[in-house]
């Protein structure tokens, strides 16, 4: 009998909350698994409301359509796909659980934070707007170890927010992501968050 690799059982939590005056949510997210990889993406369409949602949704749809492409190629495709929209900030992370590594790239104002061995690391983002051009995009790789946390969140939460503090051995779930929005969102914009814990 052939031995199959154990299925990837990602521990990911997600939550979105619209601007208090809007039905539409200008933040959108997605995550996708491959046998050896987990990909997370979070997009923040400029402003809020319907047009922001159109831009963010177009970014996530483009990421979803390119499951086997590298991050840099996906950003180029997203920049084209969003030309007729308001544009968006976008972060994408590829997690390789068996390699204990992740690869991250972002354009604009998405916050990506790793808690690695208890130390907080805020990842950098290229200047620009997906859909209106960006420059100096660099995908960066990081080592992760069991118990490390990763979160991506939009500017509905302050950049300085210590989102990963006090999580300790919390169980990752959508409920946890919703609780983090409840605790940290400032209520002046849409808010989106993804959270992952490395097993
Ligand atoms: Mn925003």
Ligand 1 center to 24 CA (angstroms): 13
Residues 6+ apart with CB under 8 A from 51: 26, 45, 85, 86
Name the one residue in this structure whose structure tokens are 């990963």.
Answer: 164
Token couple for 92: 């994408």
Ligand 1 center to 35 CA (angstroms): 32
Query: Distance (Å, rounded) from C-alpha 121 to C-alpha 185?
Result: 20
What mean pLDDT do residues 51-80 have?
Answer: 98
Ligand 1 center to 43 CA (angstroms): 9
Ligand 1 center to 88 CA (angstroms): 9
Ligand 1 center to 148 CA (angstroms): 26
Ligand 1 center to 26 CA (angstroms): 7
Ligand 1 center to 110 CA (angstroms): 8
State pLDDT tens for residues 147-197. 999 999 999 999 999 999 988 889 999 999 999 999 999 989 999 999 999
Q: What percent of the chain has pLDDT over 90?
A: 89
* CA 144 and chain centroid, separation: 17
Token couple for 150: 């990763």
Residue-level pLDDT at 64: 98
State pLDDT tens for residues 115-148. 998 899 999 999 999 999 999 999 999 999 999 9
Strand positions, DSSP E, 35-110: 37-45, 88-96, 101-107
A 10 A CB-CB count for 116 gives 16
What mean pLDDT do residues 87-94 have?
Answer: 98
Domains and CATH numbers, the chain: 12-197 (3.60.40.10)
Ligand 1 center to 67 CA (angstroms): 26
Ligand 1 center to 89 CA (angstroms): 8
Ligand 1 center to 138 CA (angstroms): 22
Ligand 1 center to 53 CA (angstroms): 11
Ligand 1 center to 156 CA (angstroms): 6
* CA 39 and chain centroid, separation: 9
Ligand 1 center to 99 CA (angstroms): 33
DSSP state of 186: -
Name the one residue in this structure whose structure tokens are 């933040």.
Answer: 27
Query: Distance (Å, rounded) from C-alpha 115 to C-alpha 103?
Result: 15
Residue-level pLDDT at 86: 97
């Amino acid at each position: 009998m052939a031995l199959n690799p154990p299925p990837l059982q990602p521990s990911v939590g997600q939550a979105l909350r619209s601007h208090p005056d809007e039905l539409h949510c200008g933040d959108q997210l997605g995550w996708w698994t491959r046998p050896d990889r987990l990909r997370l993406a979070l997009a923040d369409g400029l402003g809020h409301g319907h047009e922001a949602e159109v831009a963010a949704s177009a970014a996530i749809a483009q990421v979803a359509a390119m499951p086997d492409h590298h991050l840099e190629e996906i950003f180029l495709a997203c920049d084209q796909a969003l030309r007729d929209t308001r544009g968006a900030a976008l972060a994408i992370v590829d997690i390789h659980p068996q390699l204990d590594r992740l690869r991250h790239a972002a354009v604009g104002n998405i916050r990506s934070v790793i808690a690695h061995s208890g130390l907080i690391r805020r990842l950098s983002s290229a200047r620009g707007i997906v859909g209106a051009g960006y420059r100096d995009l660099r995908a960066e790789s990081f080592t992760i170890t069991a118990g490390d946390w990763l979160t991506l969140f939009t500017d509905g939460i302050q950049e300085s927010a210590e989102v990963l503090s006090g999580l300790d051995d919390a169980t990752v779930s959508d409920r946890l992501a919703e609780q983090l929005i409840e605790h940290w969102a400032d209520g002046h914009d849409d808010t989106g968050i993804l959270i992952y814990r490395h097993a």
